[in-house]
Amino acid sequence: MNLALISHPSCQAHRMGAHHPECPERLYAIQDRLVASGMEMLVTHYDAPAATIEQLTRVHDADYVQRIFAAAPTGTDPLALVWLDGDTALNCHTLEAAQHAAGAAILAVDLVLSDRHHAAFCAVRPPGHHAGRRTSGGFCLFNNLAVGAAHALAVHGLERIGIVDFDVHHGDGTEDIFSGEARVLLCSSFQHPFYPGTGADSTAPNVINVPLPRLTDGAAFRAAVGAAWLARLDAFAPQLLMISAGFDGHLEDDMAHFNLHTADFGWLTREIHLLARKHCQERVVSCLEGGYALSALGRSVATHVDELIGQV
Ligand SMILES: [Zn+2]
């Protein structure tokens, strides 16, 4: 069975200025690499629907969602920006992109849990894992993966979802949303100390954070997350595995200071796929988070997708 690749044209129209690293070219780089690697033949493309207010408010406060809707610029000039903080802005296409980015995770969950695909990758932006119940930040507005996970819990009645966030930044928004939620086991690795500065002292029993120092290389990364996560995820016996797939820990990515290689992302994806094969008919939903060095991002996503499809 091939992989569902979910995106939406609005995700390429969201732009936060000429020099912002979280740029539409990221999605082009991914597309290019999937074509060049011959993997296009192994994926089925879907247009993401827009998440509804009801779906968004499962994880965000209603007044926060309203605030984001109200902040969106109403004109048609894509260069006119409204800044929410020093990193995160909306142009006239952003609100639509954010709704469809969250909707991608909903569709991914529906496709995977209805056995139309064993796995799905959401090639969407804005990313989501820094968006908390009532906070935007770090390029994120709505927490796409969390919206998908909440849909799986509320509509599909799942009781155990494993989430792995290997972005180089702590998934503070996802932790804000699911901390203490016993139906979710949340695993996040991140450079520490570093933006957003959280996660090293988390105590919730369903959160397994792995803070790692700058210059962490592949061997140290594999040893640390392998020891912290894999047995716990295995014992949890997830009915669905979800991934916040951030590739900004790559050696070539100057957004942070990890020295990971494409093969390290491939290794972790393979381990997740093996767990999914054992516990949940290979059901994996992955959502793009960070990754700003365009060539490294394209190569890393191609490896990630290859392992999600992979014959394990
Ligand atoms: Zn990141």
Residue-wise pLDDT for 241-282, tens only, equals 999 999 999 999 999 999 999 999 999 999 999 999 999 999
Q: How far, in Å, CA of 197 to CA of 240, rounded?
A: 29
Residue-wise pLDDT for 177-219, tens only, equals 999 999 999 999 999 999 999 999 999 999 999 999 999 999 9
32 C-alpha to center of ligand 1: Å?
A: 22
pLDDT on residue 31: 97
Residue-wise pLDDT for 292-301, tens only, equals 999 999 999 9
In this structure, what is the dihedral angle of CA atoms 203, 209, 210, 211, given to the nearest 10 degrees? -70
Which of 37-41, 51-55, 70-74, 268-272 has the least mean pLDDT? 37-41
Question: Per-residue pLDDT averaged across 126-133, rounded?
Answer: 98
Q: How far, in Å, CA of 57 to CA of 52, rounded?
A: 9
Whether pLDDT at 8 is above 90: yes
The model's confidence at residue 130, banded by pLDDT at 50, 70 and 90, is very high
Bridge pairing between strands 284-288 and 82-83 = unpaired
With beta carbons less than 8 A apart as the criterion, state whether 144 and 165 touch. no
114 C-alpha to center of ligand 1: Å?
A: 31
Question: Per-residue pLDDT averaged across 167-179, rounded?
Answer: 98
State which amino acid sits at residue 182: A
pLDDT on residue 133: 98
Q: Which of 75, 234, 243 is nearest to 145 (CA)?
A: 243
92 C-alpha to center of ligand 1: Å?
A: 24
54 C-alpha to center of ligand 1: Å?
A: 27
The rounded percent of the chain whose pLDDT value lies above 70 is 99
- Name the pTM for this structure: 0.98
- Residues with a known catalytic role: 130
Bridge pairing between strands 82-83 and 89-90 = antiparallel
Whether pLDDT at 312 is above 60: no
Distances (CA, A) of 249 to 141, 215, 283, 300, 302: 22, 10, 25, 11, 16
Residue 278: CB atoms within 10 A of its CB come to 14
The model's confidence at residue 310, banded by pLDDT at 50, 70 and 90, is confident
